[in-house]
Structure formats: structure tokens, C-alpha cells
Amino acid sequence: MDPVEEEEKLPELYSKSSIMIITLITLTAFGAILYSINLYRVNQRRFIFPTMLGAVLYQILGARFSGGLSLRNEIWSNMVLNFVGGMLILGLWDMQIGRNTRYRPRNTLSVFLIILILLLIQVGLTYIGVTSLPE
């Protein structure tokens, strides 16, 4: 088998660095979504639900914990929380997918564009004065 054919048979996954960057700039749960897509692509579907449940619980408990801290800058506490969450996801990768698993990196441009659009919507809504949902 030639190397090109062998390369094409490798699964196309979001890289560890992409997952970590997305986790740092958004939420641990978003990084877990990308990781769960990887689990689906390598046929490890049984780990998807526990991974997502763990990420959501981690996010909720982390927010409660960091909310109780009196830090000057909330962004730093969120970044630390997301960094630890990202490291946990990368640890799961090593256990569930395998540290030395070969794969083709998946393009993350669309993910970044979606995040940018959501951020622009949030900024736009804040700019026009919509800061809470209607009751």
C-alpha cells in the first residue's frame, strides 16, 4: 500500500492543540464537544456521554467554585478553569483514543468562524442593550 492511500485511511480528528485552544477561549464543554466528535470518528462512542456529562458537571462546579473566590479579574479564573479542563480532556484522549494514535488533523476554521459569529452576536446584543432574556 502506498503512503498516500495509507494516509487517507487515517481518521480525520481535531488535534489536541485545537481542542486546547477552543477550550481556553470558550468553555471546557466546547472542547469536550470537539473531543466527542473525535470519539465518534474513532468508533469509541461509549465514552461520549460520560465525557460530555463530566465536562458539563466540571463547568458547573468550577463556575460555582470560582464564583466564590474574590478575584479581581474574573477572566483569569475562567482561563485557569478552562486550562485545567482542557488538560483533563487531553488526559482522556491518551486513555480513550491512545497517545500514539495516528490521524489526519481536521480543519478547525469552521469552528473558529462559528465562535466568532456567536461572539459578535453577543457583543451586538450587549451594544443594543439586550443583556437578559425576556421574562
With a pLDDT cut of 90, the percent of the chain lying above it is 42
Residue ranges covered by each domain of the chain: 3-107
CA–CA gap between residue 27 and residue 86 (Å, rounded): 9
Q: How far is CA 106 from CA 27, 57, 87, 98, 109, in A?
A: 20, 27, 20, 17, 9
The pLDDT tens digits for 27-49 are: 899 999 999 999 999 999 999 99
> What is the DSSP secondary structure assignment for residue 10, as one 8-state letter?
S
Question: What cell numbers appear for 12 in the block?
Answer: 480525520
Give the distance from CA 109 to its chain's centroid.
14
Confidence (pTM): 0.81
The pLDDT tens digits for 83-98 are: 999 999 999 999 999 8
